[in-house]
């Protein structure tokens, strides 16, 4: 099974044509992925693993990048390659004590003895192609989480080009002495945004399946719960496009011997994912950089909006496409994920159109 989905194009096309409004994501955990919309492109890439506050605390999270994507693992130590924003429960205070933690993604020195020790504890080996550090501060507490990044090998290489692995300490009061996370910090929403040039899209159009395998701690207990390991999927469709065109309409009037001219511009276009229309997307229209209206795509992904035109203007539109729930595709076997695949989401993103000029006629 490759990273590019086989045999699901029709299903995904049908899903893409459904209205987007009100499609809330209810199942957890979730894997939410967004990045560049063009084949072979590299832009900021966001990877987010989101759980409910009532879910068991994650012990180990493994994110599999689909085959076809490439990761730049050659950055020098201490290079900042992104930012991170987490939501954390501080269980030492209360289950209702929630803090936001923000910080940076740094390239760590993989020769560090301390990191090699933690790598062995997390992954079973001290040697990794790259180690990234999620460096955050919340409620006065500094939390550094190493992420071990490697090209995949063996059976994993059949569906993935690289994997990111991180381990988190037990936040529960029942944790073994000296091992509890500072402040009982339980990360339930981890969001890393990697800089352009870190991850590059596949060069072939398609639907690409990201996977997160999440092994939890036993809820309110000292031990891991391997039987509770779940899979969450994120599906990215490449490419996406938003095309805009402008047509000027001029009406000349003659009344009481006086001539006047009225101009308007019809803005129209399409929002497509892999040549399939995206229905129900909200678009914002800009004229000379200022918001001047909005519209919504129809069942074919098309849109149109007529505006008065008194002076020459440059128009463009942006669309915000939310993540959408769908069904799991080719889940990993129960031997690897005993509790099965619990969620799958089509990627959300924000995309801009080309710019067009419109000039009124006199």
Instruction: Summarize pLDDT for 193-249 with one digit per residue, the tens.
Output: 999 999 999 999 999 999 999 999 998 889 999 999 999 999 999 999 999 999 999
Sign of the four-CA dihedral 9, 10, 11, 12: positive
pLDDT at 65 over 90: yes
Q: What's residue 140's pLDDT?
A: 75
* Mean pLDDT along residues 257-283: 92
pLDDT confidence bin for 75, thresholds 50/70/90? very high
Q: What's residue 257's pLDDT?
A: 72
pLDDT one-digit tens code per residue, 137-148? 876 777 899 999
326/67 Cα distance (integer angstroms):
21
pLDDT one-digit tens code per residue, 123-171? 999 999 999 999 998 767 778 999 999 999 999 999 999 999 999 999 9
Q: Looking at the chain, which residues constitute the CATH 2.60.40.10 domain(s)?
A: 241-322+351-358
* Mean pLDDT along residues 291-311: 95
349: three-class secondary structure by DSSP: strand
pLDDT at 274 over 90: no
Size of the chain, expressed as the number of residues it contains:
362
**Percent of the chain whose pLDDT exceeds 70:** 93
* Mean pLDDT along residues 56-73: 97
* Mean pLDDT along residues 58-83: 97
48/182 Cα distance (integer angstroms):
22
pLDDT at 315 over 70: yes
Closest by CA position to 4, among listed 153, 278, 205, 231: 205
Q: What is the CATH code for 241-322+351-358?
A: 2.60.40.10
Q: What's residue 27's pLDDT?
A: 82
Here the tokens at position 43 are: 């832009």
pLDDT confidence bin for 25, thresholds 50/70/90? low
């Amino acid at each position: 099974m490759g990273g590019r989905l086989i045999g699901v194009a029709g299903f995904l096309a049908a899903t893409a044509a459904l209205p987007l409004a009100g499609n809330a994501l209810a199942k957890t955990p979730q894997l939410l992925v967004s990045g560049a919309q063009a084949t072979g492109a590299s832009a900021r890439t966001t990877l987010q693993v989101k759980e409910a506050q009532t879910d068991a605390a994650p012990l180990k999270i493994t994110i599999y990048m689909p085959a076809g994507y490439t990761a730049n693992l050659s950055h020098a130590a201490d290079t900042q390659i992104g930012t991170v924003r987490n939501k954390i429960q501080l269980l030492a205070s209360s289950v209702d004590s929630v803090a936001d933690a923000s910080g940076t993604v740094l390239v760590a020195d993989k020769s560090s003895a301390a990191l090699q020790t933690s790598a062995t504890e997390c992954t079973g080996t001290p040697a990794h192609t790259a180690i990234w550090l999620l460096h955050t501060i919340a409620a006065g507490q500094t939390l550094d989480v190493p992420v071990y990044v490697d090209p995949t090998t063996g059976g994993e290489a059949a569906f993935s080009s690289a994997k990111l692995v991180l381990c988190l300490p037990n936040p529960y009061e029942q944790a073994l002495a000296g091992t509890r996370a500072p402040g009982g910090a339980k990360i339930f929403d981890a969001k890393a945004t990697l800089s352009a040039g870190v991850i590059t899209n596949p060069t072939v159009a398609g639907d690409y399946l990201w996977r997160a395998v999440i092994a939890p701690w036993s809820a309110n207990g000292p031990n891991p719960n391997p039987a509770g390991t779940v899979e969450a999927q994120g599906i990215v469709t490449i490419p996406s496009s938003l095309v805009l065109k402008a047509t000027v309409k001029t009406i000349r009037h003659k009344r009481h011997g006086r001539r006047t001219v009225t101009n308007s511009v019809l803005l129209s276009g399409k929002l497509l994912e892999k040549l399939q229309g995206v229905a129900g997307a909200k678009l914002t229209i800009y004229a000379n950089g200022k918001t001047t209206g909005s519209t919504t795509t129809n069942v074919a992904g098309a849109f149109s909006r007529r505006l008065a035109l008194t002076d020459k203007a440059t128009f463009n539109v942006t669309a915000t496409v939310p993540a959408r729930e769908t069904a799991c595709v080719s889940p990993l076997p129960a031997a690897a994920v005993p509790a099965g695949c619990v969620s799958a989401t089509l990627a959300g993103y924000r995309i801009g159109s080309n710019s067009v000029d419109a000039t009124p006629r006199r």
